[in-house]
Amino acid sequence: MKIYPVILSGGSGTRLWPLSRAALPKQLISVVGDRTMLQETVARVSQWPQIMPPLFVCGNEHRFMVAEQMREIGIKPLGIMLEPVGKNTAPAVAAAAHLLARQDPEAVMLVLPADHVINDVAAFQDAVARAAEVVAAGSLATFGILPSSPETGYGYIRRGSAVPGVVDSYVVDKFVEKPDLATANGFLAEGNYSWNSGMFLFKASDYLQELLAYRPDIAEPVEQAVLKGYEDLDFCRLDQASFEATPSESIDYAVMERTKKAVVVLADIGWSDVGSWSALWAVQQSDADGNVARGDVLLQDVGNTLVRAESRMVAALGVQDLIIVETDDAVLVAHRDRVQDVKKIVDTLKSSGRTEHMHHKRVYRPWGSYESLADGERFQVKRIIVKPGEKLSLQMHHHRAEHWVVVSGTALVTRGEEVKLMSENESIYLPIGVTHRLENPGKLPLHLIEVQSGSYLGEDDIVRFEDVYKRV
């Protein structure tokens, strides 16, 4: 049996703001360890027997970051499938299933969100092996986490009769929405409920068959989206019109709650979906006072608190049960009992026209990154980093001029008809309306300071004439 990991990386992680942003959500950043959550998800299954290269499903805006993070850990993906628009998990999994079934009619999909924590990898591998036994018999398996507390932030699965011959595997009796505290305590006391992990194992063909039977309105347009899709660089683009016609629905609602083939495999694997700051506090090692600190943090008379400092020293004195998160452009202070409401802050930022929910000060691009250092009336200063061998688009601006100063590395600059090689401490002026391009022909990162001046300095004042990344 060949098992294909299908990594769903389309979430925005709004409840982990300000660390997680729409342009750089939690799965693409280091939240617990040194590697990003996406890298951890792939690494934990990459060495198992029968595991094939991973297939990713993500949004267009994250495609280059997914590819780059796999390159960093030496993983060559089977493919990176791009959703034109987010439509929840049922269509995303269906698109991946069509692609896999075309390559391997017997393909088995291990569907994994990109942003979960699993501390006991050996136990997880055992759970997948047990799930493979029920999948071989035609079942669709989901993984139920043995609950350790009356959690109100998770959905639940009620177990039915045991599956003969497969340890800790049961026919699904029913799925239950996130309960209130009293109901969750009742589930814990009853003893036959598990947390719904959102992870699945099934044959691609079996999933597509059940989806067609219960939700043809999803199955048919997704199939067309795949059939009409096309390759773009190293990415697989789904047909936009077909995919946009697909209803937005979760895999639970569309298939798992309807099918007669659902089986829940119990898993005690040290799992968390890290759906809030309090969940992140719970899965990390705390000190004797129950505190979790990361970064330059100073604590005195503090208890049961998470403090994360990203860019400067953070000191806390005489407080309890707080979440304190500092980034270079925002600070969050919240009681641990209120962290589910962080999403409301994000919604307020959106409605007020601010940008702190979208980007950090450092913005990643396929060629590298840029960071705003200073800005004022009619000027802005940025730090630009270009990766070796990469180049920005050939472009021009209607409203701003630019002055580039090379800090380190080598720059190949196109300015109109002129092409110039520049080294450290050299500079060049780019007037308004002049076509230009920046490249790094060297083997080391290029660091450059850009000074912009003009009547309008927005990122949308870019006219691209040529772009190796095929951006608009």
Whether residue 353 lies inside any domain: the answer is: no
pLDDT in tens, the chain (472 residues): 899 999 999 877 789 999 999 989 999 999 888 899 999 999 999 989 889 999 999 998 899 999 999 999 999 999 999 999 999 999 999 999 999 999 999 999 999 999 999 999 999 999 999 999 999 999 999 999 999 888 888 899 999 999 999 999 999 999 999 999 999 999 999 989 999 999 999 999 999 999 999 999 999 999 999 999 998 888 999 999 999 999 999 999 999 999 999 999 999 999 998 889 999 999 899 999 999 999 999 999 999 999 999 999 999 999 999 999 999 999 999 999 999 899 999 999 999 999 899 989 899 999 999 999 998 999 999 999 999 999 999 999 999 999 999 999 999 999 999 999 999 999 999 999 999 999 999 999 999 999 999 999 988 899 999 998 887 6
What's the start-to-end Cα distance of the chain, in Å?
A: 42
Domain end, chosen from 251, 272, 293, is at: 272
Is residue 115 located within the same domain as residue 193? yes
Is residue 19 located within the same domain as residue 57? yes
| pTM as predicted | 0.88
Is residue 191 located within the same domain as residue 292? no
Please give the Cα distance from 262 to 169 (Å, whole number): 11
Is residue 151 located within the same domain as residue 210? yes
Q: What is the mean pLDDT of the chain?
A: 94
Asked if 171 and 262 count as a contact pair (C-beta separation under 8 A), the reply is yes
Domain of 122: which CATH number?
3.90.550.10
Please give the Cα distance from 401 to 379 (Å, whole number): 10
Is residue 18 located within the same domain as residue 123? yes
Is residue 121 located within the same domain as residue 33? yes
Is residue 8 located within the same domain as residue 90? yes
Assign 338 to helix, strand or coil: helix
Instruction: Give the residue carrying structure tokens 């004439």.
Output: 465
Is residue 319 located within the same domain as residue 262? no
* Containing structural domain, residue 454: 362-466
Domain end, chosen from 272, 303, 334, is at: 272
pLDDT digits (tens, 9 = 90+) for 6-63: 999 987 778 999 999 998 999 999 988 889 999 999 999 998 988 999 999 999 889 9
- Total domains, the chain: 3
Strand-pair category, 79-83 with 55-59? parallel
Whether residue 471 lies inside any domain: the answer is: no
Domain end, chosen from 246, 272, 298, is at: 272
Closest CA to 274 of 27, 82, 97, 50: 27
Please give the Cα distance from 243 to 230 (Å, whole number): 13
- Please list, in sequence order, all residues whose beta carbon lies within 8 angstroms of the beta carbon of residue 179, skipping any fewer than 6 positions away: 152, 156, 187
Asked if 422 and 410 count as a contact pair (C-beta separation under 8 A), the reply is yes
Whether residue 371 lies inside any domain: the answer is: yes
Asked if 416 and 365 count as a contact pair (C-beta separation under 8 A), the reply is no
Whether residue 278 lies inside any domain: the answer is: no
Is residue 53 located within the same domain as residue 178? yes
DSSP string, 271-293: EE---SHHHHHHHS---TTS-EE
Is residue 57 located within the same domain as residue 203? yes
Please give the Cα distance from 18 to 448 (Å, whole number): 27
Whether residue 94 lies inside any domain: the answer is: yes
Whether residue 254 lies inside any domain: the answer is: yes
Asked if 28 and 11 count as a contact pair (C-beta separation under 8 A), the reply is no
Is residue 240 located within the same domain as residue 311? no
pLDDT digits (tens, 9 = 90+) for 301-328: 999 999 999 999 999 999 999 999 999 9
Whether residue 357 lies inside any domain: the answer is: no
Is residue 70 located within the same domain as residue 156? yes
Domain of 423: which CATH number?
2.60.120.10
Whether residue 356 lies inside any domain: the answer is: no
